[in-house]
Structure formats: structure tokens, C-alpha cells
């Protein structure tokens, strides 16, 4: 690990980052890390006065974290995370947790857990909807939706689920639907899913390369961006998917993630 890494408040390998809702005079982020030691999460705060980033570590006992998402409206530091760890029977245990950081005690409190269903192998991504009332969970072959406030004790129960024929790779809420619509990529297809409907609608099918990342434009309805395995970035108007609104192919490697 280089000295440069220490400047940015994290002294171990990192895997995922998410920003907490803006506070007055604070710019704060959470970072998931992994190492040979027990995994940790870091709270990073940008210090504009000194042009540096300060980091504070929290022990994380739930294994390695694959993905993080922060609650967009909560005043406290609430986040969800996908993690996995070895089980006593030498298999991999995967789950999603809703947790809260306590800055005063440097501890992580777990509010509720969603164990990975038996028909799936691993939880890949988790994301709160725009008002923080629902949590979307992407596994390797399905999407599950849970109501955040109606968890049964310590366990979240899904209120909606959708299984796909091929392996899934990315998931995002439609930011204009108040938790009723989401997009998911599976195989070389992209689907539009309305939880009030019986089945998903395929928007893009049989693409030349697998879609690996998607995001929804928060300002313009019906517009999404897709990154693919071949490094291509496209922007689509879902009302007319005959051709993309914008396309560029400047990357020489797979696109891992995209954000507006």
C-alpha cells in the first residue's frame, strides 16, 4: 500500500463507495474494504479547508462487503450492504444487511438482515429507492424488493420478487417512479420491471455484449445509461429503443459501474 493511499483516509484495499445525504458543512462517504484481517468500513469526510480526506474505521463482522448503498433521506448514517463469509460447513454465506454507523462509539449496529435465498448463490447489489422506504436486492438470478419499515424482527421479508432466465449483472431503481419501477440487466438483455405488473418488459435484447452497469437519469424521465462488457457506454430513451440517444466506445476494458 502506497503512502498516497493514506492521504485519502483508507489504508487497506477498498471495494465499494457510497455518499451519505448532504449535511450542512459536511461531505461524507462510506467505503467498504477487504483485507486478510477482519473487514472494515470507513467513514470518509472531505476537509475542504485543508484539501484532504479524513478517515475513521469501523469493525465489520459480517464478512467481505461487495456493495454499499446509503439511505437517501435518513438523518442518521444508515446504509445497506451486500456481504459474504465462509460458513462452518465450508460453503459461502451471503446476505444483505441494513446497518447504522455510530460515530461516537465507532460501532456498526445491524437493524435487519435479508439472507440470500436458497435458489440464489450470492447477493450482488443492494439499493434504496428514492424515499428510502424500499430496498432492492439483486442476486445472481433474481431481484427482491423489501419494505424497510416492516421488517419482521431482525429479518427483512420480500414484498416482491422476479426471477430471470439468465445470470443478472446490474440493477437500478427508476428515480421517477417512487419505488414502483426498476431496471435489471440479465444475460445480454435489459428489462423494465413494474412491480404492479405480472411480468417484466424487455427493452434491449440479444446485445452483442453483456450489459454490466446501468443507471437512471435523476433529472430526465425515461432516460437510462448502460455500460457493457466490451467497454461501450450508451444512453437510451426507453420510449424508443431502436437506437441509443448517445454512444461512445472510449474504454478498453469492461465498465464496472456508471453514475449520474
Q: What is the pLDDT of residues 183-209, one digit of tens each?
A: 999 988 999 999 998 889 999 998 878
Give the per-residue pLDDT at 6: 44
Return the SS3 of 205: coil
At 233-245, the pLDDT tens digits run: 999 999 999 999 9
* Structure-block grid coordinates of residue 42: 470507513
Mean pLDDT of 88-108: 89
Rounded to the nearest integer, the mean pLDDT of the chain is 87
pLDDT band at 2 (very low <50, low <70, confident <90, very high): very low
Contact yes or no for 180/218 (Cβ under 8 A): no
Residue 225 class from Cβ within 10 Å (0-12 exposed, 13-18 middle, 19+ buried)?
Answer: buried
pLDDT at 5: 44
The CB density around residue 160, as the number of other CB atoms within 10 Å, is 16
Which of the four pLDDT bands, split at 50, 70 and 90, describes residue 10? low
For the segment 11-33, what is each residue's pLDDT rounded down to a tens digit? 667 778 899 987 777 789 998 87
> What would the mean pLDDT of 168-193 be, rounded to a whole number?
94
Q: Which helix (H) or strand (E) holds 4?
A: helix 3-7
Classify domain 3-163 at the CATH class level.
mainly beta
The pLDDT assigned to 144 comes to: 97
In this prediction, residue 1 has a pLDDT band, given cuts at 50, 70 and 90, of very low
pTM: 0.88
Residue 39 has pLDDT above 90, yes or no: no
Amino acid at each position: 500500500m502506497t503512502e498516497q493511499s493514506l492521504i485519502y483516509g483508507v489504508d487497506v484495499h477498498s471495494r465499494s463507495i457510497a455518499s451519505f445525504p448532504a449535511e450542512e458543512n459536511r461531505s461524507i462517504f462510506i467505503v467498504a474494504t477487504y483485507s486478510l484481517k477482519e473487514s472494515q468500513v470507513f467513514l470518509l469526510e472531505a476537509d475542504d479547508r485543508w484539501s484532504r480526506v479524513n478517515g475513521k474505521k469501523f469493525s465489520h463482522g459480517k464478512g467481505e462487503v461487495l456493495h454499499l448503498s446509503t439511505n437517501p433521506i435518513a438523518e442518521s448514517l444508515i446504509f445497506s450492504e451486500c456481504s459474504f463469509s465462509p460458513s462452518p460447513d465450508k460453503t459461502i454465506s451471503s446476505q444483505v444487511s441494513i446497518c447504522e454507523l455510530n460515530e461516537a462509539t465507532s460501532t456498526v449496529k445491524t437493524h435487519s438482515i435479508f439472507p440470500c435465498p436458497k435458489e440464489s448463490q450470492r447477493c450482488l447489489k443492494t439499493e434504496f429507492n428514492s424515499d428510502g422506504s424500499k430496498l432492492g436486492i439483486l442476486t445472481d438470478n433474481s431481484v427482491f424488493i423489501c419494505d424497510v419499515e416492516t421488517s419482521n424482527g431482525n429479518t427483512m421479508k420480500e414484498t416482491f420478487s422476479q426471477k430471470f432466465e439468465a445470470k443478472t449483472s446490474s440493477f437500478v431503481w427508476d428515480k421517477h417512479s417512487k419505488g414502483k419501477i426498476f431496471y435489471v440487466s440479465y444475460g445480454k438483455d435489459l428489462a423494465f420491471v413494474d412491480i404492479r405488473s405480472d411480468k417484466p418488459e424487455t427493452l434491449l435484447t440479444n446485445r452483442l455484449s453483456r450489459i454490466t452497469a446501468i443507471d437512471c437519469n435523476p433529472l430526465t424521465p425515461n432516460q437510462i445509461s448502460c455500460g457493457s462488457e466490451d467497454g461501450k457506454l450508451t444512453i437510451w430513451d426507453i420510449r424508443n429503443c431502436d437506437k441509443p440517444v448517445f454512444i461512445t466506445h472510449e474504454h478498453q476494458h469492461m465498465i464496472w459501474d456508471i453514475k449520474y
